[in-house]
A and B are shown apart, each in its own frame.
Chain A
Amino acid sequence: MIKILLFAGLADAAGIRELNMELTNPNMTVENIKQSLKEKYPSSAFIDVLDKSFASKNQEYVDLNTVVSKHDEVAFIPPVSGG
């Protein structure tokens, strides 16, 4: 299982902050997860924010081609606004 985390506007639009996803193939990428999320939460509110978000794997920013493995923690991070 891969743990997926959503935050801020992304969590609000999905109505969920955390979910688990099965590793469907050994070459599964962050992009694959992103596409699955779009199918699961097809609202334009969700997809708009998701497309502006960056991904992280195990708390490091990664690009969409990054391969994931079992027990990874993948987060989608909307544009940040701390300070």
Chain B
Amino acid sequence: MERYHITYEKISVEEVTNKIIHANHGASISFIGTTREFTHGQKTVLLEYEAYVPMALKTLEQIGNEMNEKWPGVLTAITHRLGKVDIGEISVVIAVSSPHRNDCYEASRYAIERLKQIVPIWKKEIWEDGSEWKGHQLGPWNPTTPLDS
């Protein structure tokens, strides 16, 4: 049961969440990212994800380790989908659990923001009349800086 996983299959939220349920943890959050039909008015018909898989797995694990330093004891499981993903389907699930809810909410937010900053995965939007690889949307891209800077 690997806690960091990349798959071409549909993602089961329950399966990812079950990896982090713990008897001493009273809070768990599963963040679900789904593919969006309209981005800035442009209609997407399909999305396609690609990854540098071994490095994506390493950076997902790195995020889990960083979370453990910031919120000791949190458990994290992340599954990201690759390949063609239809509109409205799940592209990523991030499940986090902790003894109390406050850490859980903060850690969950950190995980998705950090994923979007450093994990080598790319999304191609495919429209009726073309396609485009999307870039990082958070300003100048530097995956070697902490999230806050």
Contacts and interface: CB of A to CB of B under 8 A. Distances in A.
Q: Is the interface of B mostly helix, strand, loop or mixed?
A: mixed
A26 interface: no
A46 to B, nearest CB: 13
B33 A83 contact: yes
A59 B59 CA distance: 9
A81 B55 contact: no
B143 A61 contact: yes
B119 A82 contact: yes
Interface residues of B, number: 32
Interface string B132-146: 011111000111100
6 nearest A-B residue pairs (beta carbon): A82-B121, A79-B136, A8-B122, A79-B135, A81-B134, A59-B55
B54 interface: yes
A19 interface: no
Contacts of A54: 141-144
Interface string A46-65: 00000010101001110100
Contacts of B58: 59-60
Contacts of A77: 52, 55, 120, 143
Interface of B: 33, 49-52, 54-56, 58, 80, 91-92, 112, 115-124, 133-137, 141-144
Contacts of B119: 80, 82
B143 A80 contact: yes
Contacts of B120: 7, 56, 75, 77, 80, 82
A9 B131 CA distance: 11
A7 B119 CA distance: 13
Contact of A5 (B52, B121, B133, B143): B52
Contacts of B133: 8-9, 12, 78, 81
A75 B50 CA distance: 14
Nearest to A7: B52
